[in-house]
Amino acid sequence: MPVSGLPPYDPSNIFARILRGEIPCRKVHEDEWALAFHDINPQAPVHVLVVPKGQYVSLADFSASASDAEIAGFWRAVGKVAKDLSLEVSGYRVLTNMGVHGHQEVPHFHVHIFGGRSLGRMLPAKD
Ligand code: AMP
């Protein structure tokens, strides 16, 4: 069910629990700034989520409130994960959902990395 992408941050969300090690994940990468793991319901042959270590609800919250170091560290991790997954030659897509119209379901900022097949152009048909 879509959620608001606006604060306050709820520390009981599932990605917060994964970050605290309370719930397992199929980890791809971890550093000071970010954790990357396979999506539990993959929409492409490669579907990995990258989440910042800090507590931000959405891109709106992250871009407004994270430090320059957090923002740089997070986006460098996204690029590194895509490269380490050998997606650079074939290409990939990075997507974030924000708020109700964006159909955000987990209220901890994350980006999806999709790859492993041709992904078509932009958005699916209206439903
Ligand atoms: P959204 O918030 O709309 O960007 O989507 C949240 C994504 O998190 C979905 O693609 C879910 O399949 C994924 N997801 C939810 N719970 C887990 C989990 N425990 N481990 C991995 N991925 C998850």
| 7, 54 Cβ separation under 8 angstroms | no
Sequential pLDDT tens for the chain (127 residues): 999 999 999 999 999 999 999 999 999 999 999 999 999 999 999 999 999 999 999 999 999 999 999 999 999 999 999 999 999 999 999 999 999 999 999 999 999 999 999 999 988 767 5
CA of 15 to the centre of ligand 1 (A): 8
Print the SS3 string covering the chain.
Answer: CCCCCCCCCCCCCHHHHHHCCCCCCCEEEECCCEEEEECCCCCCCEEEEEEECCCCCCHHHHHHHCCHHHHHHHHHHHHHHHHHCCCCCCCEEEECCCCCCCCCCCCCCCEEEEECCCCCCCCCCCC
What is the reported pLDDT for 127? 58
Q: Give the residues surrounding ligand 1 with Cβ less than 6 Å away.
A: 14, 23, 25, 39-41, 49, 97, 103-106
* pLDDT tens-digit map of 82-109: 999 999 999 999 999 999 999 999 999 9
- Using DSSP, state whether 3 is helix, strand or coil: coil
Q: Which of 17, 19, 23, 41 to probe ligand 1 with, by most ligand atoms within 8 A of CB? A: 41
pTM of the model: 0.97
Supply the residue whose CA is at minimum distance from atom 13 of ligand 1.
Answer: 39
What is the reported pLDDT for 100? 97
Supply the residue whose CA is at minimum distance from atom 18 of ligand 1.
Answer: 40
| 66, 56 Cβ separation under 8 angstroms | yes
CA of 66 to the centre of ligand 1 (A): 22
